[in-house]
Structure 1
Amino acid sequence: MKEILIASFDMEVGGVERSMISMLDNFDYSRSHIDLMLYSHTGDLIDLLPDKANLLEESNAYKTFRIPIGQVLKSGKVILGLTRLMAKYKANKSKVSEPGYRQMQFMWKYALPFLPRLEKKYDAAISYLWPHYVVAEKVEAETKIAWIHTDFSTVETDINMDLNMWCKFNYIVAVSGACKNAFIKKYPSLKERVIVIENIASPDIVKALSDEKVENPMTADPRFKLITVARLSHAKGIDNAVSALKLLKDRGYDDIVWYVVGYGGDQEMLGKLIATNDLQDSFILLGKQTNPYTYLKEADLYIQPSRYEGKAVTVGEAQILGKPVLITNYPTARSQVNDGVDGMICDLSADGIADGIETLYSDKALRDRLAANCSNINFHNSKELEKLYELI
């Protein structure tokens, strides 16, 4: 039996975390024993992890990366706190538009000498979330596999620093063909290591959870209901969504309401933007929800207003529930939706989103056709795991 390690950050509510749960749920445990290393045993999804995966004991050192720097220093982990401060300083000095990616790179690089190694040797070690320094440097394994969930053409990373890390992996798994191509364009020397394994869907679980009874304001709302499930961040484009709804209101569409399930660093900014546009009653932030499917089920239309994606898990989940979907034309969009068949792709702008919504709002036959096409797709793709078994 193969000994496999899977490492990730935590189990906060998010698409990557849900995709890992689906993978673990569908894994063939008759051929492998899985140890799961979470750097922090936190998050609302942790109870959904299957019992067959062995959750390793939490490490106090690794846990510090989701704790505020001041708290880390007060707890006595002074060196780790100082490496975080140095990473923040170095990233801000790099003068890139989104220094968060650089900060994460520097954070792990500087902290690595002070983090414990795993004692057990594995047949295969999988790092499920970038940056992958822990599995690259602190784990001994015959085969090392790194997962990429984002479009690397859109993020500003230190390429040389990343290359030193990527070269420690035998294989790099991209969640879509477009995601793979964007990665290879940025790191052409790694082309032979990259393989596509799509996110494992669990249609039966999604459908069952959508029937769960929760207190849901959407149920009694008679308006035309839009929904987005996403982190409240620049990448997900929720600010463009607010602007798009304002445009629709100005065009006279007063019976449209937009619900957003999710949380994140942009919440305060978005609240102010909603108030500035006088949309408090029609752009509603529902916050973090462990089960987004009950909300998806009540919607008339699913919207993904992202600026970039690898392959959005939530779009596939909306399609599983037979919802018409509208996504923005981010670089990997056409690997996610067959435009006009199982969804629509609109221009990546507030105007484009508003135009797309207006088209679908006004054409029920189009919405019904998109939804029917989604209902006819077989989303069961657990055979994708055969690709992973071959790598292992």
Structure 2
Amino acid sequence: MKKIFIYAYNLELGGIERSLIGLLEAANPNKYEIDLFLAKHEGELMGDIPEHINLLPVEKRYQAFGIPLTSAIKQGYLFESFARFIAKPIEKLLRIVKKDKALSVEAFIYHKMIIKKMKAQEKKYDLAVSFNMPYYYVLDKVTATKKVGLIHTDYSTVHIGTKAIINMFERIDQIQCVSQEVREKLISSLPVDEKKVGVAENILSVNSVKKAALENVDDMPNDSKYILLSVGRFGTAKNFENIPDITRRLVEYDLDVKWYLIGFGGLESKIREEIEKNNMQNRVIILGKRENPYKYMNACTLYVQPSRFEGKAVTVREAQALNKPVCITAFPTANAQLENGVDGIIVPLDNEGCAKGIAELLKDTEKLEFLSNNCKTRDYSNASAVKDILDI
């Protein structure tokens, strides 16, 4: 029996988290003994952890992360509050020094500081997997014969301090990227040893998705000819703040559309601001968090992923598994996501090009049906990818 340790941040609704659940469900309990360590025991997917997975106790120091700084201080997280207090100014200073306004190192600084104060895991493992970046907990607090770090996004588009990330990559035994394109982008953008960089695609529990999709939807009325849906965190990568403008352009194409958004995140106020600015209050509807996004996918006309960058979006494959037509923007790794014109379409990333591409597709009922039928013939589970992580 192979002893495996898996680290992840939490189990909130997100593509990375759902792919983790897919991995845990696909892992043979007669072959793998898995201990799951979550930084925070929270999220709508906590109840989806399979019974054969051993959930380890939470680490107290992690609980200061993600709550207001004043609350962390009141709860006695003094060192953790100090780490958070100085991480942001350091990031701002480095942005000035390096002349890079998009530089993102706050999480790296904070994690590195607090993990030094944490207690190490006593058990020895055959394999330790860090499902999230940064990899510091697995590197510094877990004893394992081999250590693996996963990459879920296109790091050629993410501004992280090169020195910090290269040092982390040098210390990890193996890096597994979510697609071949993400692997190539990583190797071309950072001085990393390509011999230790492989591919492990996200694993999807198709049966669970299809079962959940059968539930009734009562808050997404079918009162427009075309119902569009996007699911994801309200952050820079997903580009949801441009949806109101794209929707306005679709209306100008004389299309009766409603675009629903499922998710949460720091840019929600910006999205609402853009809805008001474009006068799309009756066309763009924020549903917020939904524990079961699949029933909404099943009810939409078209699933749209208008991202600026992705690794390989789990939500797109979930929609395809439900035989829905999907449309994605031309982010750098888009061609790894689908076969353009066969099981989905790729449209330009700019708002006008995106709106034009969506409009042309919506007006072509035969094309919509063609995309849907092709999805029915494909396997989007990637269940065989278990070996690409757990058999390293």
**Residue 171 of structure 1: which of 163, 169, 174 is its match?**
174
Deviations along 1:261-318, one digit per CA (max 9) or x if unpaired, are: 1111111111111011111111011100011000000111111000000000000011
The separation in 2 between residues aligned to 1:35 and 1:137, in whole angstroms, is 17
AA of the residue aligned to 2:7: A
The separation in 1 between residues aligned to 2:203 and 2:246, in whole angstroms, is 32
Does the aligned pair in 2 maintain the 1:80–1:114 contact within 8 Å? no
Q: Which residue of 2 aligns with 1:139?
A: 142
SS at match of 1:6: strand
Q: Which residue of 2 aligns with 1:41?
A: 41
Q: Which residue of 2 aligns with 1:86?
A: 86
Q: Which residue of 2 aligns with 1:208?
A: 211
Question: How big is the shift at 1:113?
Answer: 2.1
Q: Which residue of 1 aligns with 2:253?
A: 251
Deviations along 1:349-377, one digit per CA (max 9) or x if unpaired, are: 11121011111111111111111111111
The separation in 2 between residues aligned to 1:210 and 1:216, in whole angstroms, is 15
The separation in 1 between residues aligned to 2:349 and 2:274, in whole angstroms, is 19
The separation in 1 between residues aligned to 2:366 and 2:26, in whole angstroms, is 36
The separation in 2 between residues aligned to 1:42 and 1:87, in whole angstroms, is 24
SS at match of 2:5: strand
Question: How big is the shift at 1:231?
Answer: 0.9
AA of the residue aligned to 1:98: A
Deviations along 1:127-161, one digit per CA (max 9) or x if unpaired, are: 00111111111111111000100000000001111
**Residue 228 of structure 2: which of 226, 232, 249 is its match?**
226
Question: How big is the shift at 1:94?
Answer: 2.1
AA of the residue aligned to 2:81: G
SS at match of 1:303: strand
AA of the residue aligned to 1:77: Y
SS at match of 1:160: helix
AA of the residue aligned to 2:6: I
Does the aligned pair in 1 maintain the 2:35–2:54 contact within 8 Å? yes
The separation in 1 between residues aligned to 2:209 and 2:89, in whole angstroms, is 42
Q: Which residue of 1 aligns with 2:131?
A: 128
AA of the residue aligned to 2:33: H
Does the aligned pair in 1 maintain the 2:127–2:390 contact within 8 Å? no
Residue correspondence of structure 1 range 92-131 to structure 2 within 5 A: 92-95=92-95, 96-99=100-103, 101-131=104-134
Does the aligned pair in 2 maintain the 1:248–1:358 contact within 8 Å? yes
Q: Which residue of 1 aligns with 2:359?
A: 358
AA of the residue aligned to 2:252: D
The separation in 2 between residues aligned to 1:149 and 1:380, in whole angstroms, is 17
TM-score, normalised relative to structure 1 = 0.96
Question: Which one is further off, 342-351 or 104-113?
Answer: 104-113
1:281 equivalent to 2:285? Answer no
Q: Which residue of 2 aligns with 1:323?
A: 324
Deviations along 1:176-223, one digit per CA (max 9) or x if unpaired, are: 0111111111233321111111111221111111002343323x4243
Alignment root-mean-square deviation, CA: 1.3
The separation in 2 between residues aligned to 1:175 and 1:92, in whole angstroms, is 30
**Residue 236 of structure 1: which of 216, 235, 238 is its match?**
238
Note the residue ranges of structure 2 that are not aligned, 5 or more in a row: none
The separation in 1 between residues aligned to 2:74 and 2:315, in whole angstroms, is 39
Deviations along 1:315-359, one digit per CA (max 9) or x if unpaired, are: 001111111111000000000011111111011111121011111
AA of the residue aligned to 2:239: G
Question: How big is the shift at 1:126?
Answer: 0.4
The separation in 2 between residues aligned to 1:367 and 1:262, in whole angstroms, is 25
Does the aligned pair in 2 maintain the 1:87–1:110 contact within 8 Å? no
Does the aligned pair in 1 maintain the 2:120–2:141 contact within 8 Å? yes
Deviations along 1:79-112, one digit per CA (max 9) or x if unpaired, are: 111011111111122223334x311111112223
Q: Which residue of 2 aligns with 1:183?
A: 186
1:197 equivalent to 2:203? Answer no
Does the aligned pair in 2 maintain the 1:306–1:330 contact within 8 Å? yes
The separation in 2 between residues aligned to 1:167 and 1:113, in whole angstroms, is 19
AA of the residue aligned to 1:372: N
Does the aligned pair in 1 maintain the 2:166–2:191 contact within 8 Å? no
AA of the residue aligned to 1:324: P
1:264 equivalent to 2:268? Answer no
Q: Which residue of 1 aligns with 2:379?
A: 378
The separation in 2 between residues aligned to 1:17 and 1:152, in whole angstroms, is 19
The separation in 2 between residues aligned to 1:187 and 1:29, in whole angstroms, is 37
AA of the residue aligned to 2:101: S
Note the residue ranges of structure 1 that are not aligned, 5 or more in a row: none
Does the aligned pair in 2 maintain the 1:241–1:353 contact within 8 Å? no
Q: Percent of aligned positions with the same letter in both sequences?
A: 36
Question: How big is the shift at 1:247?
Answer: 1.2
Question: Which one is further off, 341-350 or 57-66?
Answer: 57-66
Does the aligned pair in 2 maintain the 1:5–1:126 contact within 8 Å? yes
The separation in 2 between residues aligned to 1:13 and 1:304, in whole angstroms, is 16
Q: Which residue of 2 aligns with 1:339?
A: 340
Question: Which one is further off, 201-210 or 70-79?
Answer: 70-79
SS at match of 2:276: helix
Does the aligned pair in 2 maintain the 1:216–1:295 contact within 8 Å? no
The separation in 2 between residues aligned to 1:199 and 1:152, in whole angstroms, is 17
SS at match of 2:331: coil
AA of the residue aligned to 1:126: V
The separation in 2 between residues aligned to 1:189 and 1:351, in whole angstroms, is 37
